[in-house]
Structure 1
C-alpha cells in the first residue's frame, strides 16, 4: 500500500525533524544498553531522558525492523515455539516525557482498545481503522495513559488532528520509559486491542509485509533523521 503522497497530521502535535528529534539506537549493537540493568525501569528511564537532555531534543525515534535485545527484560516476548525472545521491532517508537499528547494522523474509527497489563507489555492501547486508497488499514498506539481509555467507544470517529491520548508513565504503560509505539497493520486478523509489536527473526518477512514501515505516517524521511 503506497501512502507516500498523503499528508498526515503530526502525531506529537509538531513535525518531527532534526531540530527537535534524534534517532535513538535501541539495537543489539548499542554498547551502552548492554551496560544497563534493563529490569530496572528507573535506570532505563534515566538513560532515555539523559539522551534527550544531552542532545537538547524533545523526541527520540526508535527504528522500524530494528533488531533489539531489550525485549529480554520481559517474558511477554518469549517465543514459546523455540524458547527464544522475539527481537524484531515492527513499529516506530517516539520517546518523550510522560503525558505528552498524541494526535490522530488521519481520520479513522476506533476498532478496539484495552489495557494490556503486565511488565513489558503495551499498557493502554488503541487501534484505529482507516480506509485509505481503497484499502482498509489499521494504526496502533501503544503505551498510552490509562485515563485515555475512559471515554472511548468502539466505532467512534477520531478526526485527523484530534487528540487520541497521552504517553503513559512507566507505572501504567508496561514498565517502559515513556514513549509511543506506533504501528501500521494491514490485516489485523482476530486481534482486538492488541497486536504483536515485535516478532522473531524467522518471521520477519511475513510480519514486515503485514506491518509496513510507518515512517511516512510520522513525516519521517531518510534525508532528515530516519
Structure 2
C-alpha cells in the first residue's frame, strides 16, 4: 500500500476524531504549540530545563484558555541538542520530530484510540529518550499498523503483557513526570508507524535529514486519526 493510500485509510478509519486523552475535551480546548527552531520566543528560554520549558508550555495553555497543547509533526527542533542520544558522534543530528506531542499534566490517563493488542513495551532510559513506552498493534480491514505512546509513568508498564488486548476507549497508561519520562515536561508522544521493522518497545521518534523521506513515509501524521 502506498503512503497516499495508507494516509487515506487512516483518515477514513473513523468519520470523527479518535482520542488518546479524555473524550470530553473538545477540539477548542486543544491549542497548537510551536517548538520549532524557527520559534524565536524559545531563544529566550533554556529549553534544556524541563522546569523552564514546562513553564513556557503551561503559560501557553493557560493564556489560550486551553487544556492541552499539541503539535510537532515533522517539526525541526533545537530541544534535542541537549542530549547525546540524538547527537552521537559520527552520526548526523536527529532533530525532526515524527509524532504529535500532547502536553498536559502528569498522571493524565491515556486511552486506546482503536482496538489493539500490546506489541511491546520498555523503559527507554537514555537522557532525553521516551522513558516508559508502549507500542500497540492494530489490525483493521486487513491492514496492520502500530501506534507508539512515549513519556509514560512507570506504573503504566509494570503489569503489562505482550499480547494483552485493549478495546477502543480502554485506559492503557498515564503520563509520567520529568523524573521518569526522559526529563521533559509531562506530555504524550503519539506516533503512527506503518512498519515496526525489528523494534521492540522503541522506535525512532526523531530523525535526521538524511533519513527524512523514509520516516515521513513510514510514520504518517497522527492527526489523520486525532483530527485536531
Query: If the length of structure 1 is used for normalisation, what is the TM-score?
Result: 0.92
Farther-moved stretch of structure 1 (155-164 vs 127-136): 127-136
In the TM superposition, 1:165-204 aligns within 5 A as: 165-204=173-212
CA distance in 2, matches of 1:158, 1:137: 15
Contact 2:19/2:226, CA 8 A, preserved across alignment:
yes
1:4 counterpart residue number? 11
CA distance in 2, matches of 1:205, 1:114: 27
Contact 1:9/1:104, CA 8 A, preserved across alignment:
no
Q: Secondary structure at the match of 2:190?
A: strand
1:88 counterpart residue number? 96
Segments ≥4 residues shifted beyond 3 Å: 15-18, 79-82
Contact 1:15/1:219, CA 8 A, preserved across alignment:
no
CA distance in 2, matches of 1:15, 1:216: 19
2:85 aligned to which of 46, 66, 76: 76
- Pair 17,69 (structure 1): closer, same or farther in 2 beyond 3 Å: farther
CA distance in 2, matches of 1:134, 1:70: 39
1:159 aligned to which of 154, 157, 167: 167
Q: Secondary structure at the match of 1:193?
A: coil
Contiguous gaps of at least 5 residues in structure 2: 1-5
In the TM superposition, 1:63-142 aligns within 5 A as: 63-82=72-91, 84-142=92-150
Q: Secondary structure at the match of 1:77?
A: coil
Contact 1:102/1:166, CA 8 A, preserved across alignment:
yes
> How far apart are residue 133 of structure 1 and its match?
2.9
Q: Secondary structure at the match of 1:140?
A: strand
Is 1:61 the counterpart of 2:70? The answer is yes
2:3 counterpart residue number? none
> How far apart are residue 45 of structure 1 and its match?
1.1
Query: If the length of structure 2 is used for normalisation, what is the TM-score?
Result: 0.91
Deviations 1:27-71 (A, max 9, x none): 111112122112222111111111111112110012211111111
Deviations 1:14-37 (A, max 9, x none): 266552011000111111212211
Contact 2:48/2:79, CA 8 A, preserved across alignment:
no
Q: For this pair of structures, how many residues does the alignment match?
A: 219
Q: Secondary structure at the match of 1:128?
A: strand
CA distance in 1, matches of 2:149, 2:27: 23
> How far apart are residue 202 of structure 1 and its match?
1.8
Farther-moved stretch of structure 1 (69-78 vs 103-112): 69-78
CA distance in 2, matches of 1:204, 1:118: 22
> How far apart are residue 128 of structure 1 and its match?
0.4
